[in-house]
Amino acid sequence: MDPHITRELSKLDPAIPFRASPSHLHHTWARTFYWRPELFIQPESVAELQKVVTLARRCRRRLVTVGSAHSPSDLTCTSAWLLNLDNFRRILSLSRDTGLVTVEAGIRLYDLGIELEQHGLTLPNLGSIDEQSVAGVIATGTHGSSLRYGLLSQSVRTLSIMLANGQVVRCSAESNVELFRAALVSLGAIGIITEMTLQAVPAFKIAWQQSMQSLPQVLDKWETGLWSEAEFVRVWWLPYWKRAIVWRADKTELPLRAPPKSFYGGRIGNFVYHNLLYVANYIPRILPWVEWFIFGMQYGFRPGKHLTSAIEPGRTGLLMDCLYSQFVNEWAIPLEKGPEAITRLSAWLNGDVATARIPFSSKGLWVHSPIEVRVSDTSKTDTPRPYLDPTNPTGPTLFLNATLYRPHLRDPPCTDRYYQAFEWLMRELGGRPHWAKNFSAKTGYEEIRRMYGPDLDEWVRVRNEADLDGMFVGEWHRRNLLPAPSLSGDDEKEDAGRAFPLGEREKARQKFRDQRGAGDGVEVIGDKAWLNEVSTASDGGDGPLGRGRKESDEKGNIHVDVSQFGPPSPPTTAASEESFDHLAHGEASVMLERDNVA
């Protein structure tokens, strides 16, 4: 371990463990991104978490919290310290009567689901999987598919979040509402969510059924019951075959009935599909045939003929098999734009330029199935709206998810052009990207600002007040959410675009090869700015800002004085307490360690 860390660690209470390992390699579930944090830390208590935050501040390190790394983007990549709460996952209280359950934030959805089930409870809505941590699900605006629900974060009643000064602040619809709205979709940039209270509902079973229909049939029913005839509905669109699988489910009291075996759920089908996708990476024009063959084997070759159904607990029945590593590019648009979106994208993929009206060529481009079509409705909920909620605030939302598999971890050849055209159409139809997914790096702050307007400004303001030095800021946040630093003398701009002495910049990317030398994953390498800062701190040399004088105080905190470079500089750690004071005034906020407020 870096001697500076060891030195600072020795100044903190040795009775509180610091469970950190060096030489750690992390990757997203899809193995799209890899990174090597300086330390991988798995705390087991609030006191341990606080120790990490104190140490990170003193050692000038960025902190990234990662859940199950199911976000397929570079959102959680870091060369600094990676924090994981897999061992901070207890159920703290649970009431059968009210359905309220309070959990530590690292708990995975499947563990929570099993525990709730033992008490006759369940979560009201789920996405395609339940591997994620509850905090991760909330932080990215994860959704399921039902017009009767909004985002999964709709169930959150109270959140506790540890800010950059080590203070835990509780927020809810009743107290610290601005922090609550920012922290609900926080993208890890506000602080470390430590606890949350969720509203569970009585456990239920669902009776689901699915069948293949022609695309025109599906579009005809768009406004006449497709989405409202059942409580949960999702559609898988097969763009070349011009068909769609419609899956629908309602609650039931009938006895459980296991689902039938599926073709690609079995060993042979799974192997065949995976390898056909792999071959298609080299001969992409076979993809329409692959779509026909695989989905015909899975759901039958004639529309409407083959109906599959089952009765399962909601906890497992709402999930699905997500198969292989994949890129996912998912956007939220108003539901009423759905038929236009699908008709134009379908035309583009099938070479009908006039109907598509998309200014990119689709010549020689072939894509994977299915394109996922899902819905939610956040317009009717009475809980505070997250500032960064991508859904339609005034009516139902359609989520279109352009999935591209990465067979044997190899990227398909069409990715850039497909996503360029797809995103262009989504923007034209008033869309906003799902935060966790693989939207283009070109989207960037300016465009996101146009999409979110003052809601983004508010999120940035709350974020900056809670984390003055940018302990939770990385390249992904700068790219998408934070205005570029401005030294124009305009105070507001200066404040919003602060330089973030602890924030991490990306330095390089390189191809990552697994042990067999295969795979197209990318390794992301951060700037390790602290090396520069710590080695020069004592002689007043240049730090991560590339300018200014630094001083260490008696507690080892380093203060960067940039005041000679234009307008008043953002205060560093020493001033933090004042600035988030108003956030910390909630009735239930807890001061856990005075020591770490310098």
Ligand X SMILES: Cc1cc2nc3c(=O)[nH]c(=O)nc-3n(C[C@H](O)[C@H](O)[C@H](O)COP(=O)(O)OP(=O)(O)OC[C@H]3O[C@@H](n4cnc5c(N)ncnc54)[C@H](O)[C@@H]3O)c2cc1C
425 vs 422: CA distance, rounded Å: 5
Pairing verdict, β 63-66 and 26-27 = unpaired
Residue 322 lies near ligand LLU7NYM2 (rule: CB under 6 A): yes
Long-range contacts of 449-454 (CB under 8 A, 24+ apart): 449/483, 452/387, 452/388
Structure tokens of 153? Answer: 């974060």
Q: What is the DSSP letter of 490?
A: -
Q: Give the dihedral of Cα atoms 458, 588, 594, 1; nearest 10 deg.
A: -70
Residue closer to ligand LLU7NYM2 by CB (options 57, 368) is: 368
Which one of ligand X, ligand LLU7NYM2, none is in contact with 193 (Cβ closer than 5 to 8 A by kind)? ligand X
> Is residue 326 near ligand LLU7NYM2 by the rule CB under 6 A?
yes
Site string for ligand LLU7NYM2, 70-109 (x = CB under 6 A): ----------------------------------------
Residue 18 or 29: the one with the smaller Cβ distance to ligand X is 29
Question: Using the rule CB under 6 A, is 270 a contact of ligand LLU7NYM2?
Answer: no
Q: Where do runs of H (alpha helix) occur along 60-133?
A: 109-118
Site map for ligand LLU7NYM2, 357-376, x if CB under 6 A?
---------------x----
Computed on alpha carbons and rounded to an integer, the radius of gyration of the chain in Å comes to 25
Give the one entry of ligand LLU7NYM2, ligand X, none that residue 403 binds, where binding means its C-beta sits below a cut-off of 5 to 8 angstroms depending on kind: ligand LLU7NYM2
- As given in the structure block, the two tokens for residue 446 are 């300016």
Q: Between residues 165 and 378, which has the closer beta carbon with respect to ligand LLU7NYM2?
A: 378
Give the nearer residue to ligand X in terms of CB position, either 153 or 569: 153
Contacts for 289 with CB less than 8 Å, ≥ 6 apart: none
Selection from ligand LLU7NYM2, ligand X, none that 372 binds (CB < 5 to 8 A by kind) is ligand LLU7NYM2
Task: Please identify, among the stretches 32-40, 198-206, 292-300, 322-330, the one whose residues bind ligand LLU7NYM2 according to the rule CB under 6 A.
Answer: 322-330
Look at residue 140 and give the partner it binds from ligand LLU7NYM2, ligand X, none, a contact being a CB closer than 5 to 8 Å depending on partner kind.
ligand X
> How many angstroms separate the CA atoms of 424 and 430, rounded?
10
**CB neighbour burial string for 394-430, b if at least 16 within 10 angstroms, e if fewer:** eebbbbbbbbbbbbbbbbbbbbebbbebbbebbbebe
Among ligand X, ligand LLU7NYM2, none, partner that 65 touches (CB below 5 to 8 angstroms by kind): ligand X
Nearest distance from residue 201's CB to ligand X, in Å? 19
State in angstroms the smallest separation of the CB of 109 from ligand LLU7NYM2: 14
Instruction: Report the nearest approach of ligand X to the CB of residue 501 (Å).
Output: 20
Which one, 145 or 596, has the nearer CB to ligand X?
Answer: 145
Question: Between β-strands 81-84 and 39-41, what pairing exists: parallel, antiparallel or unpaired?
Answer: parallel
CB of 141 to ligand X, least distance (A): 7
DSSP letters of 316-360? HHT-----S-EEEEEEEEEGGGHHHHHHHHHHHHTT-HHHH--SS
Give 3-55 as a 3 state SS string: HHHHHHHHCCCCCCCCCEECCCCEECCCCCEEECCCEEECCCCHHHHHHHHHH
Nearest approach, Cβ of residue 323 and ligand LLU7NYM2 (Å): 7
Q: Rounded to whole angstroms, what are the CA distances from 174 to 138, 158, 177, 178, 384?
A: 19, 9, 6, 10, 10
- Asked if 68 touches ligand LLU7NYM2 (CB under 6 A), the answer is no
Rule CB under 6 A: say whether 438 interacts with ligand LLU7NYM2: no
- Which does residue 188 touch among ligand X, ligand LLU7NYM2, none (CB within 5 to 8 A, set by kind)? ligand X
Cβ-based neighbour number of residue 113 at 10 Å: 22
Partner whose binding site includes residue 401, from ligand X, ligand LLU7NYM2, none (CB under 5 to 8 Å by kind): ligand LLU7NYM2
Four-residue CA torsion sign, 307, 109, 437, 227: positive
- The residues in 451-510 that bind ligand LLU7NYM2, with binding defined as CB under 6 A, are none
- As a whole number of angstroms, the distance between CA 30 and CA 221 comes to 34
Q: Binding string to ligand LLU7NYM2 for residues 384 to 403, with x set by CB under 6 A, is what? A: -----------------x-x
Q: Which stretch binds ligand LLU7NYM2 (CB under 6 A): 50-58, 295-303, 321-329, 559-567?
A: 321-329
Structure tokens at 449: 């600002």
Residues that bind ligand X in the complex, under the rule CB under 6 A:
29-30, 64-72, 75-76, 85, 105, 127-129, 132-133, 135-137, 139-140, 142-143, 186-188, 192-193, 322, 434, 436
Residue for token digits 């191809």?
511
**Residue 65 or 176 having the CB closest to ligand X:** 65
Judged by the rule CB under 6 A, the positions of this chain that interact with ligand LLU7NYM2 are 127-128, 322, 326, 328, 372, 401, 403
